[in-house]
Amino acid sequence: MRRLAIAAIVGAVVALAAGALTALAAVDGRRLAFAGAANPFGRGAWVGLGTVACQKHIHVEAPFDEIVMQLVAFPPEPRISVTVRSAADGRALARGDVPRGVAGGWQHVATPTVSLSRGIPAGRIVDVCIRSVGRLPVGLFGSPHVTAGSSHAAVISPHGVERATGTDIRLVFARRRTRSVLSMVPAMVRRAALFKPGFIGAWTYWVLLAALLVAVPALLVRALWSADRGPLAERGRPSPAPGPPPPAR
């Protein structure tokens, strides 16, 4: 009876934690597809006056149909359009506009979300080009190009001359539809296995999950049961009556 109670306590607490995690993962909706390597603490590029800024050669890690950027724009409110092109042949894959009312004013940083006309599937290499139709330039936030990826920012002049800026534009790629974290668990397991030695794969994480949920509670129950039997029982003898204990090793 006592042993059952111990197992029940351990099982209940672990089940409660696992259940709470599962419930939270089921209601935790995520829209993030993936994010570029740039940080929004500096200049990514300026656009306007006929100049177009592109973040080139982006590897699409997961499907997306929205792009979030950070910019500062001078009044009057600019009109900014975004085009996603195939990096291979320059063909336009999708386009969208910065919504009105979110990008005005040079005193604050705007973080508009651009809805694209079509979704972009994973695995493609694309360029994201940003154009401003206005008299004053728009600043796009980003940071110096530091990662080893081939993705980089470039500006294209009104005469079609392309120049690398040595920076990256901060872009976050999102989905209109949220996905629960729970539904993403298989993908999360695949992602966790990246940048590990070759023998580590998604299977390792499934085994690990099973070990955590089954083996560790079983080990704890075993430890508690053995503790209950006392030190002498470990050597096959019954525990003595309680008394002043000698120091143990």
Partner 1 sequence: MPRRLPRPPRPLSALLAASLLVTVAWALLIPPFHAPDEDGHYAYAQSLAENLTRPPFHDPAVTHGPQLSPSVRMAEAFARTGSFWLVERDSQRPFWDGYAQRRYEAALRAHPPPSDRVDTAEYQSTDPPLYHAWAAIAYRVASTPNVFSRLFAMRLWTAPLVLLTVLGAWLLAGELFGPDRTLQLVVAGCVGLQPMVTFMSSGVNPDAAALPASAFVLWLTVRVVRRKPSRRVLLALAASLVAAVLSKTVLISLLPAAAVALVVALRRFGRWPRRGWAVVAPALIAAVVVGLAVVAAASPDSLPPVSKLGGFFNYLWSYYSPRSAWAPRVGGLPPHPFYRIWLRGAWGEFGSADVHFPSGVYKVLALVSVATFAGAVMALIRRRFAQDRAVLLVAGLAAAGLVLGLHVGDYAQVSRFGITVTLGRYLLPLLPIAGVAAAVALRNLPPRWRLHGGALVLSSMFALDLVALGLVARRFYA
Residue from 100, 176, 222, 237 binding partner 1 (CB under 8 A)? 222
Task: Give the range of 14-22, 48-56, 113-121, 132-140 binding partner 1 by CB under 8 A.
Answer: 14-22
Q: Which lies closer to partner 1 via its Cβ, residue 50 or residue 230?
A: 230
Least CB distance from residue 191 to partner 1, whole Å?
Answer: 4
Terminal C-alpha separation, the chain: 30
Residue from 43, 46, 57, 59 binding partner 1 (CB under 8 A)? 59
Least CB distance from residue 213 to partner 1, whole Å?
Answer: 8
* 10 lines the binding site for partner 1 (CB under 8 A): yes
Q: Which lies closer to partner 1 via its Cβ, residue 28 or residue 162?
A: 28
**Contact mark string toward partner 1, 167..206, x via CB under 8 A:** ---x-x--------x--x--xxx-xx-xxxx--x---xx-
Beta bridge partners of 115: 66
**Contact mark string toward partner 1, 63..102, x via CB under 8 A:** -----x----------------------------------
- Tell me the C-alpha to C-alpha distance, in Å, between residue 43 and each of 71, 75, 126, 169, 201: 10, 19, 21, 8, 39
